[in-house]
Amino acid sequence: MQITKQEFARRRKALMAMMEPDSIAILPSAAEKTRSRDTHYSFRQDSDFYYLSGFDEPNAVLVLIPGREHGEVVMFCRERDKEKEIWDGYRAGPEGACEKYGADDAFPIDDLDEILSGLMEGRERVYYAMGKDPSFDKRVMTWVNLIRAKVRSGAIPPGEFLDLDHLLHDMRLYKSAAEVRIMQQAACISAQAHIQAMQACAPGVYEYQLEADIIHYCAQQGARFQAYNAIVGGGKNGCILHYVENSEKLRDGDLVLIDAGCEYLNYASDITRTFPVNGKFSTEQAALYDIVLDAQKAAIAEVKPGNHWNAPHDVSVRVISQGLLDLGLLEGKLEDVIEKESYRQFYMHRIGHWLGMDVHDVGDYKVGGAWRVLEPGMVMTVEPGIYVSPDNTNVPKKWRGIGIRIEDDVLVTKDGCEILSKDAPKERAEIEAIMASAH
């Protein structure tokens, strides 16, 4: 289920076809990051770099030079080193960069300063994500200044810098069939992990224990890493949108909100489910839960080609606002509640975000000042929620401290949409049945 060498090559070719004449694109890899003293965090490749290369080592640079006689795809990477590979693992080396990853030409990374300025010379434009890596920015400007210093001897320095992100991130927004298959697998693994958490949940269990169940299951299925820090919020902690302490004991009578998704082959999943700690929704919990679920279903129905990005959000606002009016948590007329945004004390975030190699994936939400129109191949999350703050004295006490979010990963298809994370149960009766069967 890997992305093939041919697909990476097609991506590079497509990007170079969009580049201006006489241009060069430069993409550095991610760097290893120190965790403490002489240990590192697990390496995770820069998404843009990986999207174009499939190369999963640090200390590398990809250079694209359309029309270059000796090869348009140039890679700089670490050389093979038997001694270091004994300690730190296999390296592809420049030879492997060509043979395995499809580079036309490759050089040792130690030769970068010497060679890259020569590759830039005579190119009118440089595509580069300036500001992303300040230390690498300085190196790029050093190479430009080296060329400028030779102008009197006929050297031609680049005259323009262009943002590579604009072209590349628009490409990444549209998922190929292979990408969709990987994202479907990531969502399936995460959905089963949420079921594991439901079955393991009981009063007295700690939030971090459910987090551990999710991480363990995903890793067992080949998804060693989570796409983001899991949120496991019991009771009032479910009202904190980015709660990650996951340290408290779950209490009988509370809900627990779990927002967790694995990363599989560099692609993210992102699922949220909310369920009762004791396996049975209370009257108030059920009332709010049903509003959120209805809002999510209505929003997902709006995910289809031709609708704009904000259409699902608009629908979710109407459903949640009407539901809160019906329960008496809001007062007034529906249109006034929406216009004055008084619903935002309970539903303060937007409906979702793009999903792909990054959990909050790249891609513009507006084009020319207007909401982007949904097209086949785009993947987004749909995640309405209701959060009644424990400190909200404007509502009866029975509602306070209830936080609910329901989130799925949704692919736009030519006929409508497909829920990639549909295996994660979200109907109340189904959740209660799963939890009852485990105890």
Pairing, β 105-108 against β 73-77: parallel
Active site residue 387: yes
The catalytically annotated residue of 308, 350, 360, 400 is: 360
CA–CA separation, 12 and 206 (whole Å): 47
The catalytically annotated residue of 38, 69, 391, 415 is: 38
Residue 287: left (phi > 0), alpha (psi -120 to 50), or beta?
Answer: alpha
- Residues shown for the chain: 439
**HEC secondary structure over 188-208:** HHHHHHHHHHHHHCCCCCEHH
Closest CA to 329 of 344, 348, 314, 316: 344
The catalytically annotated residue of 37, 90, 242, 391 is: 242
Three-class DSSP category at 26 = strand
CA–CA separation, 170 and 173 (whole Å): 5
Active site residue 259: yes
CA–CA separation, 296 and 368 (whole Å): 28
Which tokens go with 71?
């090869």
DSSP 365-414: SEETTEEPBP-TT-EEEE--EEE--TT-TTS-GGGTT-EEE-BEEEEE-S
What are the angstrom distances between the C-alpha of 10 and each of 17, 24, 104?
10, 17, 14
The catalytically annotated residue of 68, 308, 350, 353 is: 353
- Specify which residues 263 forms β-bridges with: 225, 268
The catalytically annotated residue of 383, 408, 409, 432 is: 383
The catalytically annotated residue of 139, 181, 349, 372 is: 349
**DSSP E strands: which ranges in 18-104?**
23-28, 34-36, 39-40, 61-64, 73-77
Active site residue 70: no
Active site residue 32: no
Pairing, β 255-260 against β 271-276: antiparallel
Which tokens go with 16?
């170079």
Closest CA to 274 of 396, 398, 435: 435
Active site residue 407: yes
Active site residue 308: no
The catalytically annotated residue of 211, 358, 407, 408 is: 407
- Specify which residues 233 forms β-bridges with: 257
The catalytically annotated residue of 259, 358, 408, 409 is: 259
Active site residue 57: no
The catalytically annotated residue of 270, 408, 409, 432 is: 270
The catalytically annotated residue of 358, 387, 408, 409 is: 387
Active site residue 40: no
In terms of C-beta density within 10 A (0-12 exposed, 13-18 middle, 19 or more buried), how is residue 376 classed? middle
Using an 8 Å Cβ cutoff, are 27 and 47 in contact?
no
Active site residue 121: no
Active site residue 242: yes
**What amino acid positions are annotated as catalytic residues?**
38, 242, 259, 270, 349, 353, 360, 383, 387, 405, 407
